Amino acid sequence: MTTSDAARIDLPALETVRLRLRPFSPDDARDVFDYASDPEVTRFVFWSPHTTVQESIDFVNRHVQLAGNGELASWAVEHAADRKMIGTCGFTWWRPEHGKAEIAYAISRQYWNQGLVTEAVGACISYGFDVLKLNRIEARCMPDNIASERVMQKCGMRHEGTMRQTMMVKGRRIDLKLYAILREEWRKSDES
C-alpha cells in the first residue's frame, strides 16, 4: 500500500443493509481466528490458515496500527444482526498517482453464498470512487475460485485476462484472473 503521497486516511465505518464495515479493534482476534484457521477459507488465498490465536492477534494489530498511522487498512466486516466480526474486505494496495487500487476479501464459511461479500465489495467500490477518487479498481482471483469471480462479476467488474504463472503461492506457480471496474463504468453498473 502506498500512501506516502496521499492524505492521511481516517477509515470510516461503512453501513450496508446487513453489514457494518469498520476499522479493526484489538477485540477482533478471536473472531479472526475462527475463520482464518479454516483451511477451506484459505484454499484460494495467498496466506495459510492461522494455527495459533497469536497469528490472529498479530494480523489484527497490523490493521489497528495501519489505521492508527492514517494509512489505508482493510475493514473488519461485522454482521449487523449477529453482532459478529465475520471477515475482512478492503484495499490491499493503492496507487494514488495512478488513481487505482486493488480490493480483496474473505469471510467465514458459515456466511458464504448469502450475497454478503458482494454487499461489502459494493460499499468498498463506492468508497474508492467517491472518497479516494480512484479511476480504476482491480481484483484478482485464482481460476478455480468461482465464488470470488462471481463476486467480481456481480459488482460490475470486467474480466481483462489471466495473468499466467504470475505468483508462487504455497509452493505452486499460480495463474490469476484479473478483473477491474473503471469510474466511468461504475454508475452504469449501479443502474443495471
Ligand X SMILES: CC(C)(COP(=O)(O)OP(=O)(O)OC[C@H]1O[C@@H](n2cnc3c(N)ncnc32)[C@H](O)[C@@H]1OP(=O)(O)O)[C@@H](O)C(=O)NCCC(=O)NCCS
Given the rule CB under 6 A, which residues bind ligand X? 41, 44-45, 105-107, 112-118, 141, 145-148, 150-151
Sequence-distant (≥ 6) Cβ neighbours of residue 21 within 8 angstroms: 13, 14, 15, 75, 76, 77, 78, 89, 90, 120, 123, 124
What is the smallest separation between the CB atom of 68 and ligand X, expressed in angstroms? 26
Maximum pairwise Cα distance, the chain: 45
Complex with ligand X: residue 151 or 180, whichever CB lies closer? 151
Complex with ligand X: residue 147 or 167, whichever CB lies closer? 147
What is the smallest separation between the CB atom of 73 and ligand X, expressed in angstroms? 17
What is the smallest separation between the CB atom of 78 and ligand X, expressed in angstroms? 14
Complex with ligand X: residue 45 or 72, whichever CB lies closer? 45
Sequence-distant (≥ 6) Cβ neighbours of residue 25 within 8 angstroms: 60, 64, 76
What is the smallest separation between the CB atom of 113 and ligand X, expressed in angstroms? 5
Alpha carbon distance 189, 49 (integer Å) = 35
Complex with ligand X: residue 29 or 141, whichever CB lies closer? 141
Complex with ligand X: residue 70 or 154, whichever CB lies closer? 154
What is the smallest separation between the CB atom of 112 and ligand X, expressed in angstroms? 4
Alpha carbon distance 48, 174 (integer Å) = 15
Please, what is the end-to-end C-alpha distance for the chain in angstroms?
Answer: 32
Alpha carbon distance 22, 78 (integer Å) = 8
